[in-house]
Amino acid sequence: MIDRYAKRNNRAERLRNNRAERLRNNRAERLRNNRAERLRNNRAERLRIKTASLKEYRLILSVLCILYSVFSFAQSNLTYTLRMAATDEVELLDNFPAVYETEKVNIRLYDGGKYEPLRYDEGRDTVDFIFAHPGEEDLTAWGDSVFCYHESDEVVWTVWRSKKEPKNRNQRVLVANGRNAFVQYLHKETGSSRSQGWIWWVFAGLLFAAGAAYACLVVLQRRKERELSSVEQETLRRKRMGKRRHYGAQLYLWLLLLVLYAPIALIAVFSFTKSKVLGNWTGFSLDLYANLFTGQADAGLNSAIWYTVVIALVAAVSSTLLGTLAAIGIYNMRARQRKVVSFLNSVPMINPDIITGISLFLLFVALGMSQGLATVCIAHVVFCTPYVVLSVLPRLSRMNPNTYEAALDLGATPAQALRMVMLPELWPGMISGFILALTLSVDDFGVTFFTKGSGGLETLSTFIYSDARKGGLTPELRPLFTIILLVMLTVLVYINIRAAKEEKK
């Protein structure tokens, strides 16, 4: 009896012990796990912080690099400056359009490359600066580019692209650019006669240093990662396979954007100064903006803006109408007809500008049409309409094809059915086609160039082209395109934000 009792007791004891042990074990297990997890977390945290600080270093390094290179280039650009001082020798300037300037012009020295005699092409070569020694017969040109002018038939100037500088730095020289000519003293700024080659070496060295530093950092980071446990390595590897930020990739994209935006930034920055020459800072000024808005800019520019707007509106409206009708027609065609018309539709899109332009030019010549506003408008409709057709067609395939027929059955005339049934459905496609046509028309150069005729009609593109050929942009173009850029930026950002919001909903 007692024996049995003791046995039972014993068993209970054992059971209790067992349970306690298990519990204890469990707790220890959990604790151990917890600690390991915390450790792991800690390590990951540390790693994250480290990589974040590494990113900071890289950023600072690259900024330093860029700043320094810009600084050194700015220095070298200041080396030789022309002071527009004397205007007493105006008689010398017979061959130049007599316009005088009183602003500083930077002359950049040409260093490196071949120096060959420029073939003098009458009235064609446009170059920036000419230095002549008054009284001497030969014209010595130097600088990175040379302006060839041709006003008189008697005097044949030989223009050489040469590295030769005037011997005496305080010599009186004749300077001309696309618009202006003046007599002045070549003035040397003291204490900064560095050559650009030297700066290039520094620049290259800096870039190299930045690259090396970056490589070292990446190696260090990798080594840190290797210390992690295999599980952690696996998760890191997994992460890297999927979507994740790679600093190298991001750097690449941003560098690419930097290069893409550099010329645009140049235009935007120099729209805030009065200087006639792009790349020459003469202090902050809003005069160019004022000129643009008060119509004091070049008369040619004003008419070019006007014509661009008119042509774009005419082309966009007519191509939208024509294209929408055509899209409805094409959509209802049988397969074979549809194929033929679609091919026809794609021809102007495949054709490069120059071919479209030349073929239309030949047509207008053959028909004996005088080229001007009308021909440019027709040409723009030609290359805009296919895009309208393509943006309306998807809307058509999305709408119920029976609604139109239903409207007809209910007694609507085709016009009514079109207006009240089809148009509301097609509206978004028409709008996007209209906008597309508008931008294509504003942007076009090649087609306009060949169809504008010689009547003095210029759109913005052709105006810029003839301006650049003459050797210098009309300064008011800079604020104009800065404004266009800012407007486009706001519009696109707004559209994107709205789209993102709608997505969230």
Structure token pair of residue 9: 């007791």
Report the distance separating Cα 183 and Cα 93, nearest Å.
8
Q: Which is nearer to other proteins, 100 or 208 (CB)?
A: 208
Structure token pair of residue 205: 């060295």
Stretch that binds other proteins, among 6-14, 80-88, 97-105, 485-493 (CB under 8 A): 485-493
Half-sphere exposure of 177 (CA within 13 A, CB side): 21
Burial class (CB in 10 A: 0-12, 13-18, 19+), 130: buried
The least distance separating other proteins from the CB of residue 219, rounded to whole angstroms, comes to 19
Q: Which of residues 217-256 bind other proteins (CB under 8 A)?
A: 241, 243-246, 249-250, 252-253, 256
6 is a site residue for other proteins (CB under 8 A): no
Q: Which of residues 84-123 bind other proteins (CB under 8 A)?
A: 108-113, 121
Do the strands 181-188 and 159-161 form a parallel or antiparallel pair, or are they unpaired? Answer: unpaired
Structure token pair of residue 386: 């296919």
The dihedral built from the CA positions of residue 286, 289, 290 and 296, taken in this order, carries a sign that is positive
- Binding mask of the shown chain, residues 393 to 422, with x at each position contacting other proteins by CB under 8 A: -x---------x---x----xx--------
The least distance separating other proteins from the CB of residue 406, rounded to whole angstroms, comes to 13
Sequence-distant (6+) residues with CB within 8 A of 464 are 473, 477
281 is a site residue for other proteins (CB under 8 A): no
One residue of 276, 314, 449, 479 binding other proteins per CB under 8 A: 449
Q: Which is nearer to other proteins, 28 or 347 (CB)?
A: 347
Please list the residues that pair with 106 across neighbouring strands.
Answer: 81
Q: Which of residues 261-280 bind other proteins (CB under 8 A)?
A: 261-264, 266-267, 278-279
Please list the residues that pair with 27 across neighbouring strands.
Answer: none
Stretch that binds other proteins, among 130-138, 170-178, 217-225, 376-384 (CB under 8 A): 376-384
Q: Which is nearer to other proteins, 210 or 267 (CB)?
A: 267
Q: Which of residues 319-358 bind other proteins (CB under 8 A)?
A: 322-323, 325-333, 337, 341, 344-355, 358
Report the distance separating Cα 145 and Cα 389, nearest Å.
47
Report the distance separating Cα 143 and Cα 153, nearest Å.
26
Burial class (CB in 10 A: 0-12, 13-18, 19+), 41: exposed
CB contact burial 365-375 (16+ within 10 A = b; e otherwise): eeeeeebbeeb
458 is a site residue for other proteins (CB under 8 A): no
Cα 396 to the center of its chain, rounded Å: 34
Do residues 329 and 344 lie in contact, with contact meaning Cβ atoms separated by under 8 Å? no
155 is a site residue for other proteins (CB under 8 A): no
468 is a site residue for other proteins (CB under 8 A): yes
For residue 39, the SS3 value is: helix
One residue of 377, 390, 430, 457 binding other proteins per CB under 8 A: 390
Report the distance separating Cα 197 and Cα 43, nearest Å.
48
Stretch that binds other proteins, among 3-11, 20-28, 89-97, 383-391 (CB under 8 A): 383-391
What stretches of 227-286 show up as alpha helix (H) in DSSP? 230-241, 247-269
Residue given tokens 């600093």 in the structure block: 247
Stretch that binds other proteins, among 38-46, 96-104, 291-299, 437-445 (CB under 8 A): 437-445
The least distance separating other proteins from the CB of residue 83, rounded to whole angstroms, comes to 20
Report the distance separating Cα 313 and Cα 309, nearest Å.
6
One residue of 31, 220, 257, 420 binding other proteins per CB under 8 A: 257
Q: Which is nearer to other proteins, 93 or 393 (CB)?
A: 393
436 is a site residue for other proteins (CB under 8 A): yes
Q: Which is nearer to other proteins, 289 or 481 (CB)?
A: 481
Q: How many residues bind other proteins (CB under 8 A)?
A: 110
| H-run or E-run covering 4 | helix 2-77
Report the distance separating Cα 418 and Cα 433, nearest Å.
18
- Binding mask of the shown chain, residues 161 to 200, with x at each position contacting other proteins by CB under 8 A: -----------------------------------x----
Q: Which of residues 287-316 bind other proteins (CB under 8 A)?
A: none
The least distance separating other proteins from the CB of residue 106, rounded to whole angstroms, comes to 9
One residue of 206, 311, 430, 446 binding other proteins per CB under 8 A: 446
12 is a site residue for other proteins (CB under 8 A): no
The least distance separating other proteins from the CB of residue 91, rounded to whole angstroms, comes to 30
Structure token pair of residue 6: 């003791």
Q: Which is nearer to other proteins, 4 or 119 (CB)?
A: 119
Q: Give the Cβ contact number of residue 87 at 10 Å.
A: 13
